[in-house]
Structure 1
């Protein structure tokens, strides 16, 4: 079912974009000099919005990079201009144009978000200088530990309608979390009362094969019960020698209109991946004389016996009840299970430049680890939202509560030999993965077990103080508790419990029909899983997050812009000491640091410049230092710019062409090298991508994508080892819809 929502109060659909917008576009797209006339709706038109904020639109609007409304950030259904934070929403159309088939690829192309690829199968993400730990599935959060790989960022985007990213602290949505970003994946649902579907096949570099089938149909004669199935398979090598990857996934969902005002959604999704010869870490950064190494990009340090397998399954249910007065109530529930099994090997140390040998007397060489992990999560969230009248004005409110339990279990085995597990790889320059035999492994032992619970109550209201002025006030109470079994100590149990109230406030002032200014504040609460040298858990990270900015909105939200200034202040931030906790199995000890500050500016322009031209362009600049003035995570670029466009040729409307670029400035990392403290650097670089799509018939289209057009060589990770970014690659896809 749908409900109607009128255009934003005071919006002027026919307003032309001002000169500042033209200047931004001119900088981003110098070749674009002439724009087609815009088709504008009437001011009195009504927009039909479905329950998740989607839009019934014309064909051209359906291909927009922008979205009309979203609930992310506050759970109130708002246009982006009315959210007092930086929000990026990556639409289904943009994912198709860029062939962004994983969450990892989406985030890598999101303004203000930076990737750190630890090895061939693990990618961590950072925003505003801090690790992104909050990932949610239709606002059901999952909290990540960056030591383990449960494959969250490898999730396939074929099952999602859009990916929403709130940058900065998002305590109102998640309760706990770093002040980096909150990533919410919104699933596709069965919304068609007629049978329809699509089939897509892709071939690409390194023997990539990918097939996706999407079918939906009514399951009752009236169409009140509908079903949808999305399934896919992918198989490919990579630019790394001997590295092979396979995955398969399937999602099924049933949406039922139980009454004219009650909708129930039930679904299940499953994904399984297998990787042969995955790396654990990367190539050594320095030789034993302190000089930089330079291995070929395809060099793989993994052994032939190494593998990494991950499978995940989720069962979810959503119940929505709409009332005659415009209010609605929602209950969401999810059970998720994820498992990994990885037998891996990493090379540690600095080889001799002439011989390629490691010094075993300095405990340099190959180390192995066979790890198995299981994560189970049960979550439920219930809330109501609607409008109310007070003092002659209309306002909105939402309130609710949530509960989640996440159980994590990790088992470990390690190589057993006469040298305490250290293995000799020989001359690293001649290494090919087959020279290192699969060692004998120890018996399986519990590495760590923990159970984390979160109980929350939350509320927010949007108050209309005057026609141009709105105030959003909210708060979330969180009770967080955890029970831990420490490394290889099944009988030693630690308990930790904290509670916190996270306030939220935002003020939005409409300057005119196009521009608004805003400011917002929220606090930070992040319990730490890190321990000090005495194996005691650190205090939770606390702090404050401030943001102020300007937002623009043109053509009924088909084009939006944000310019934001932000400042984050944190205490009790966990910082590595470089030492190991005694009897912990090699766990690093951390200390708590006060006075950490991140500040910067972000800009984003996203959506339709004309019916034929779509664009997303943005830039981010931040500085992050601790209380002693030392840079926080200096391997993360402080300045980045990202651009992508699609242009549909007026003289040949069946053809769309486009492309983009990603640029970042110089990054660095200080490590302890063979000659003492050493700084590893990566110069600034630009990666350029291109694409074209031809709509051969109404139902059949072909698309080609070329990534890293100029084959730029760069590091995706800096440290005692390095990880190269992907070289030039291509894909060709054929899509048939029916």
Structure 2
């Protein structure tokens, strides 16, 4: 008999009973939640029935198991690090269309929207540059260039997993803030199934998506899934418009009873008209703060961004006897960019609007990424107990090539009256400006030892051989070779069927290609240590998961990047004794049959030998989102939530060369949604974002970029 497609018969949620107040209390203080929930849980679980149980499917706003962090298939409370999972259901309810939407709503992640297109993500005060697709570390990003990474559509992903803290065991060279894993959809049905949806919202933004799965053989051993869509619309920014197209095809085949093969390809492309490069001046020349409308755009009418991403992949799983399994995967990516942009620089006169000059750039780039990862995992016996082992190898190769062209730029007579009209520029021919490549080869192994019935020890290490090479038109060639062993250790103590405590340790290693500011050399690799300890809980057979973590990151040689307008060279100064330490809490999942909830809280401090580190990152964040199916009116689901962040500031050069702080007070963004199920197949959903129209900067460092104002989207969907 062929191996069946894995799917789950979810336990009845009629058994779930936990008051909303209990859950909110659990977010604030998890031990208190345990006491409050114990009676409810005892009653509920007596009637909980599980049939044909598999631990692979999403369940509402959470997931019972993950391989994040260690490669072991484990429940969330068996992973000795903080893990957040944004499921397909949550993406649908919140209207999270792209990667930026998802990570803006993830616990502990803060977002820097550098301009109308580029975006950076931060965790625990550090920029995230480690991205995985289906568990393969394949991509390191550079915020100078726009390949559309933050704009990739989420329709092709089943879930997105965030491991906060260093994840050197699986990523090797990478940033300690967090790693992001984008898990693609697969053809998981032997029967024809699918969905269609169309959306329309503020600023004439529209979106259409088709998602279809079909068997290719009568037995269903070979199946295909296609996801495709189109987006088009304007923006709250004057003159800005965007179009995106995407398509994804995967074929899953049960080659034999023990072997499954997957082949897939996805492509996404986008083009924006009148995108900004940079943003609004924060001060007038007399030192007073500016207060532009959110629609005021610094972009000329001839500017544009165009990008395209193509990814192909293959995955193989073979199940040996004795519980051992081989996992192998390979991926190839080609991405391109083409943009003509203008960057405003200077402080306008409050009365005349004079004093702003524009730099221009025509940029073209190509990025190629190849990644291969293979590992075996299975049980072994030692000292009368059963343990588990993972051993694998990975290869990653990335190259980036850029060409640029510049004009002499132009001045603006009255910046405050700017409407984007300026003569087209006389662009010279392209000239190669930079080439960069990196190659990472690694061996890794990790064992999970069952020391005693309640105690589990995880020990592992990764050996990384890293080689990087850069060439720039101004600095010539630079090569760098690094070899490093990254240890990993975790200890989990199971208190009872609900609670566990854990502690983990790993080291941080990240080679850097930044040139020393004011010098001739390059920065040494970033090195450091990551400590974490915490408490985790799972109720109702994993339908509800919670965590409380205390962490500390110590680093040296952290790059303080210096960006100079009109310069192709990124320089930086090394910062020593950087310490980020704090606490994080999260709870996600089913509170009852009708209520799904996710809530998170993060607070940390970040300092260096020079004082405060990255003060423009919020030190405290809180988020909450819930959906409730009205019992008296089963067709109706209502929900909403909010995101709050604390006061932030950035020290920068102001008018007349003076150094000063720009500060932003704390703010809250509230969202609402409602969905009405006309039939089992047909539904209408309405999402309201930034309900109270809060005006805030999503980025302020040298210049400012406003976040989106109040906007509304309606979505009509049909499943079959």
Same fold at TM > 0.5: yes
Give the alignment of 1:21-36 within 5 angstroms: 21=23, 23-24=25-26
CA–CA separation in structure 1 for the residues paired with 2:331 and 2:556: 33
Which of 448, 452, 458 is matched with 2:444 structurally? 458
> Deviation per CA, 1:362-396, whole angstroms, max 9, x where unpaired?
xx511111111100011110001111121121111
Q: CA deviation at 1:148?
A: 1.4
Greater displacement, 104-113 / 423-432: 423-432
Partners in 1 of 2:706 and 2:270 — Cα distance? Answer: 22
Contact 1:15–1:554 (CA under 8 A) maintained in structure 2: no
Residue 500 of structure 2 is matched in structure 1 by: 516
2:213 equivalent to 1:216:
yes
- Measured in 1, the distance between the counterparts of 2:188 and 2:16 equals 31
**Contact kept? 1:446, 1:488, Cα under 8 Å:** no
2-side partners of 1:26 and 1:716: how far apart? 27
| Pairing partner for 1:570 from 531, 552, 555 | 555
CA distance in 2, matches of 1:546, 1:497: 27
User: Which of 53, 56, 79 pairs up with 1:54?
Assistant: 56
Measured at CA, do residues 687 and 165 of structure 1 come closer, stay the same or move farther in structure 2, by a change above 3 Å?
same
Q: Does 1:625 align with 2:607?
A: yes
- The alignment partner of 1:400 has SS state of strand
TM-score of the aligned structures, taking structure 2 as reference length: 0.94
1:19 Cα deviation after fit:
9.7
Residue 690 of structure 2 corresponds to residue 704 of structure 1: no
Correspondence for 2:279 among 274, 277, 282: 282
User: Which SS does the other structure have where 1:24 is aligned?
Assistant: helix
Distance 1:2 1:397, change over 3 A: farther
2:393 counterpart of 1:430: no
Structure 2: runs of 5+ lacking an equivalent? 10-14, 31-36
Could you tell me how far 1:64 is from its partner in structure 2?
1.2
| Residues 249 and 588 (structure 1), Cα distance of their counterparts in 2 relative to 1, 3 Å cut | closer
- Is the Cα contact below 8 Å between 1:137 and 1:184 reproduced in 2? yes
Please name the residue that 2:530 is paired with: 545
Query: What is the aligned partner in structure 1 of residue 677 from structure 2?
Result: 695
1:285–1:721 CA contact under 8 A, matched in 2: yes
**Residue 378 (structure 2) pairs with residue 386 (structure 1):** yes
**Counterpart position of 1:263:** 260
Are 1:5 and 1:46, in contact at CA under 8 Å, matched by a contact in 2?
Answer: no
TM-superposed CA distance for 1:196, in Å, is: 1.1
CA distance in 2, matches of 1:198, 1:3: 20
Partner SS, residue 260 of structure 2: strand
Render the CA deviation track for 1:102-140: whole Å, top value 9, x for unaligned. Answer: 111100000000000000001100000000000111122
Residue correspondence of structure 1 range 151-300 to structure 2 within 5 A: 151-300=148-297
Alpha carbons 2:531, 2:553 under 8 Å: kept: yes
* Structure 1 residues 64 and 133, CA gap change in structure 2 (3 angstroms): same
2:18–2:41 CA contact under 8 A, matched in 1? no
Aligned position for 1:664: 645
Q: Displacement of 1:5 after TM fit?
A: 12
Question: Contact 1:3/1:48 (CA < 8 Å) preserved in 2?
Answer: no
Q: 2:390 aligns with which of 398, 401, 405?
A: 398
| Conserved 8 A contact 1:36-1:612 | no
Q: Are residues 4 and 593 of structure 1, via their aligned partners in 2, closer, same or farther at CA, if it must alter by over 3 Å?
A: same
Could you tell which deviates more after superposition, 512-521 or 436-445?
436-445
Give the 3-state SS of the residue equivalent to 1:23 in structure 2: helix
**Which range moved further: 545-554 or 63-72?**
63-72
Query: Within 5 A, what are the aligned runs for 1:398-417?
Result: 398-415=390-407
Secondary structure of the 2:120 match is strand
Kept after mapping to 1: 8 A contact 2:60/2:589: yes
For 1:259, what is the secondary structure of its paired residue? Answer: coil
1:654 CA drift (Å): 1.2
d(CA) in 2 for partners of 1:127 and 1:448? 29
* d(CA) in 2 for partners of 1:177, 1:258: 36
Partner secondary structure for residue 248 of structure 2: strand
Which stretch shifts more, 463-472 or 384-393?
384-393
Q: Which runs of 5+ in 1 are unaligned?
A: 8-12, 56-61, 359-363, 416-420
| TM-superposition CA deviations, 1:123-171 (whole Å, max 9, x none) | 1000000000001111222111122111112111100000000001000
In structure 2, the CA distance between the partners of 1:535 and 1:156, relative to structure 1 (3 Å rule), is farther
Q: Given the superposition, is the C-alpha separation of residues 26 and 119 from structure 1 closer, same or farther in structure 2, using an over 3 Å criterion?
A: closer
C-alpha distance 521-467 of structure 1, shift in aligned 2 (>3 A): same
> Does the CA contact (< 8 Å) of 1:4 and 1:47 recur in 2?
no
Q: Residue in 2 aligned with 1:486?
A: 472
Q: TM-score, normalised to structure 1's length?
A: 0.92
Change (3 A) 1:63 1:139: closer
Among 571, 575, 590, which residue is 2:572 paired with? 590
Q: Which stretch shows the higher mean deviation, 509-518 or 655-664?
A: 509-518
- The answer to whether residue 307 in structure 2 is matched with residue 310 in structure 1 is yes
Q: CA RMSD in A?
A: 2.5
CA distance in 1 between counterparts of 2:299 and 2:564 reads: 26
> Retained in 2: the 8 A contact 1:487–1:585?
no
Q: CA deviation at 1:41?
A: 7.2
Instruction: Give 2:33's aligned residue.
Output: none
Give the conservation status (yes or no) of the 8 Å contact 2:271–2:307.
yes
Measured in 1, the distance between the counterparts of 2:371 and 2:98 equals 24
Pair 566,591 (structure 1): closer, same or farther in 2 beyond 3 Å: same
SS at match of 2:53: strand
| 1:10 alignment counterpart | none
Provide closer, same or farther for how the CA distance between residues 201 and 498 of structure 1 changes in structure 2, counting only shifts above 3 A. Answer: same
Q: Which residue of 1 aligns with 2:714?
A: 732
Task: Name the counterpart of 1:642.
Answer: 623
Q: Please report how far the alpha carbon of residue 485 of structure 1 lies from its aligned counterpart in structure 2 after TM superposition.
A: 1.0
Q: CA deviation at 1:27?
A: 9.7
Shift of 1:579: 7.8
Give the drift of 1:224: 0.4
Quick one: distance in 2 between partners of 1:5 and 1:267? 21
Is the contact made by 2:267 and 2:311 (CA closer than 8 Å) also made in structure 1?
yes
Aligned to 2:351: 354
SS at 1:194's partner residue? coil
For 2:67, the equivalent position in structure 1 comes to 71
**Structure 2 CA distance for partners of 1:458 and 1:27, relative to 1, 3 Å:** closer
Q: Identify the residue that residue 325 of structure 2 maps to in structure 1.
A: 328
C-alpha distance 507-239 of structure 1, shift in aligned 2 (>3 A): same
- The CA distance in 2 between the partners of 1:177 and 1:723, in whole Å, is 28
Q: Report the counterpart of residue 99 of structure 1 in structure 2.
A: 95
- Alpha carbons 1:16, 1:554 under 8 Å: kept: no
How big is the shift at 1:194? 1.0
